[in-house]
Structure 1
Amino acid sequence: MTALIYRGHSYIPHHTAVQKQSVELTYRREHYNARRRQAARDLHPQLAYRGVSYAR
């Protein structure tokens, strides 16, 4: 087992790395594209940041 370094101090881990199955993430492309089209149609969208409204 190899020694690791954390903040300048070397240590030996007490456990081995776990091999997990990879997960394929999905992307809701159509939902995202629909929201972009809707935002493009709005001439003056209402934007809010932490409860404060502003115009772009």
Structure 2
Amino acid sequence: MGKFALALHDWDEPIRLVTEAAKNENLPLLSPMIGEKVNLDNPPSPENWWKAIN
């Protein structure tokens, strides 16, 4: 099994950029893990889950 890049940027670059932009504009942002269920009536606290993945 192998893998190869389909884009010219790091896999986490889009979420890093949008997270930083939301922070700079003081906007709320939910970024659940892929497949994670989110209850919008009781949203989870912000978490940068992608930082723990290599």
Q: TM-score range by the shorter chain?
A: under 0.3
Structure richer in strand, relative to its length:
1
- Give the TM-score taking structure 2 as reference length: 0.26
By relative contact order (CA 8 Å, sep 6+), the higher-ranking structure is 2
Structure richer in helix, relative to its length:
2
